[in-house]
A and B are shown apart, each in its own frame.
Chain A
């Protein structure tokens, strides 16, 4: 009764990299890795100050805030969404934390917790509108961008909050690793990247997030609660923006209502440079880390060799176009 015929006995599709490399990086991160190495090589030839522990630590500190925002952005983009509100939500969290601690004299840790909660609340709002009313994420987060921005300015009265208690800026403190001083904030960012990588690549929740972004109907039919996945994703992203707010406080030492106004676009830049597809379901958070570092290295390197900073913007723009084009071409060839 067993016929010898076999479905699909013909050519097995070819696989690119070996499974180990593929698992560690994901094919899509090889491009950004190459770009980062090339940029690093270029600047270390151009300037002997580039490849020093102090400078590398500085680069990480410079990308810390946008890099952390980009973690949340990656999660949202993997679900085929986009989050324009993250910079504004972070600014609001930043003002809530600092004002509650300074002006209202609240316990610092309670103030931090309420700041984180505010950001997570905006995540719930974004996710609720996207899943509940099925509004496009672009429009929803455009709206919450304005709301968070306005609330920040209303609540802060346009005043920068100064005289922060030391606990609020603790993440800006450093410890020595050999000759190099490293901030606790940098460690927190790297740890967040690591944790997110683990959840995305090693757990069922991560698989479901990719599936929802890749083919929502297939995900639903296989029993995944797609709305719950989306709501959870936006909420976790919001919480991560809250942590970015805490990092921002530690870096600037004040509560600044005008902070983070272009950080939403910068975080999208990092995600795209990292090879994550804006159509959802493909990409990795390690790519995003590389993307954020590419921007950081170029900015830092151009400063070191004395080029005007506007060229950094120019080069980043070109790189974004290149990254998206490469993604498209690779996809088209597969079909």
Chain B
């Protein structure tokens, strides 16, 4: 992985961008998160994996503002932030690609890209709250071509697109508005082999354009193909934070299922060698 140039001026590769400390979330007697930590660094794709019931989706919801944890804190660039709604997260520049994509199928691509953030015309027409449809189409097309998503007509309804194309629209929307990071929940789950490969390329492109990515996935080969570090979630907490080149897939699966102990205590070995080794945990 080589990351160059396009980093935001205020963060270098390896700086911690987004961090969760000791998140706890209880649903009645069920402990979904049990003192869970997470750390995302600039310029990386961090995969989050875990078995069903490991608290993975609760963690992601807490990071994207859809769930408010009972305890623990979130830090963005080292500053504590409180996310009560998905809108809060978006205001901080955190964009999420949801598993069901959160696209309105009957609306066209440009409308979906700008849903809730429409561009209004200037002058009298803007005073009459008139939309600038042309500007939205033009910019939507620009975002698509920046990410090499091969959709040319922004006036097609999303329901007329293939699964991969829809994923492309959702990812382009996140990438267009994210200023700090992008969270993707199972982006390849509904796709075939070829389209999955294209979405993985898309994830790399977003990272290479300077936005770190949190990738939630069940698919081990995809995780190993695209991620820089892997966060293994088990029983509501992080049990390991490993680099894919240091471990085999079966090791990671063993940690995930509890067949092998986690590496969370053996901290330094599993940290990326890059900068500041011990300023968390």
Closest to A277 in B: B106
Q: Is the beta-carbon distance between A6 and B148 smaller than 8 angstroms?
A: yes
Q: Is the beta-carbon distance between A222 and B116 smaller than 8 angstroms?
A: yes
Which of B23-31, B199-207, B254-262 contacts the other chain? B199-207
* Chain A residues near B149 (CB-CB < 8 A): 6-8
Distance A54 CA – B253 CA, assembled complex (angstroms): 80
Within 8 A of A (CB), among B82-133: 86-87, 90, 96, 98, 100-107, 111, 115-118, 120, 129-131
Does A177 make an interface contact (CB < 8 A)?
no
* Chain B residues near A12 (CB-CB < 8 A): 151-153, 156
From A215, A217, A222, residue with most partner B Cβ within 10 Å: A222
The answer, among B90, B129, B164, B204, for a CB contact under 8 Å with A223, is B90
How many A-B contacts are there with CB distance less than 8 Å?
A: 121
Q: Is the beta-carbon distance between A221 and B98 smaller than 8 angstroms?
A: yes
Q: Is the beta-carbon distance between B106 and A8 smaller than 8 angstroms?
A: no
* Chain A residues near B101 (CB-CB < 8 A): 218
Q: Is the beta-carbon distance between A7 and B116 smaller than 8 angstroms?
A: no
Distance A8 CA – B148 CA, assembled complex (angstroms): 10
* Chain B residues near A48 (CB-CB < 8 A): none
* Chain A residues near B86 (CB-CB < 8 A): 220-221, 223
Does B225 make an interface contact (CB < 8 A)?
no
The answer, among A7, A210, A211, for a CB contact under 8 Å with B148, is A7
The answer, among A2, A7, A224, for a CB contact under 8 Å with B115, is A224
* Chain B residues near A2 (CB-CB < 8 A): 148, 205
Q: Is the beta-carbon distance between A5 and B201 smaller than 8 angstroms?
A: yes
* Chain A residues near B147 (CB-CB < 8 A): 7
Chain B, residues 199-232, CB within 8 Å of chain A (1/0): the string is 1011011001000000000000000000000000
In the complex with contacts A12-B156, A211-B104, A218-B104, A6-B116 CB distance below 8 A:
no
In the complex with contacts A7-B165, A281-B106, A207-B205 CB distance below 8 A:
no
In the complex with contacts A13-B161, A204-B120, A210-B104, A7-B131 CB distance below 8 A:
no
The answer, among A5, A19, A205, A222, for a CB contact under 8 Å with B129, is A205
Interface size in chain B (residues, C-beta < 8 A): 50
From B104, B155, B159, B167, residue with most partner A Cβ within 10 Å: B104
Distance A15 CA – B208 CA, assembled complex (angstroms): 34
Does B263 make an interface contact (CB < 8 A)?
no
Distance A202 CA – B136 CA, assembled complex (angstroms): 13
Does B162 make an interface contact (CB < 8 A)?
yes
Does B197 make an interface contact (CB < 8 A)?
yes
Does A318 make an interface contact (CB < 8 A)?
no
The answer, among B66, B156, B168, for a CB contact under 8 Å with A13, is B156
Does B150 make an interface contact (CB < 8 A)?
yes
Q: Is the beta-carbon distance between A281 and B161 smaller than 8 angstroms?
A: no
21 interchain pairs, CB-CB under 8 A: A5-B201, A6-B148, A7-B147, A8-B165, A12-B151, A12-B156, A15-B155, A204-B120, A211-B107, A211-B111, A214-B106, A215-B102, A215-B103, A218-B103, A219-B116, A221-B66, A222-B115, A222-B116, A223-B116, A281-B106, A334-B160
Further pairs besides A6-B148, A15-B156, A214-B104: 9, Cβ < 8 Å: A1-B2, A1-B208, A13-B156, A205-B129, A210-B107, A211-B107, A215-B102, A223-B86, A223-B117
Residues on A facing B (Cβ under 8 Å): 1-3, 5-10, 12-13, 15, 19, 22, 202-205, 207-208, 210-211, 214-215, 217-224, 281-282, 334
Residues on B facing A (Cβ under 8 Å): 2, 66, 86-87, 90, 96, 98, 100-107, 111, 115-118, 120, 129-131, 147-153, 155-156, 159-162, 164-165, 167-168, 195, 197-199, 201-202, 204-205, 208
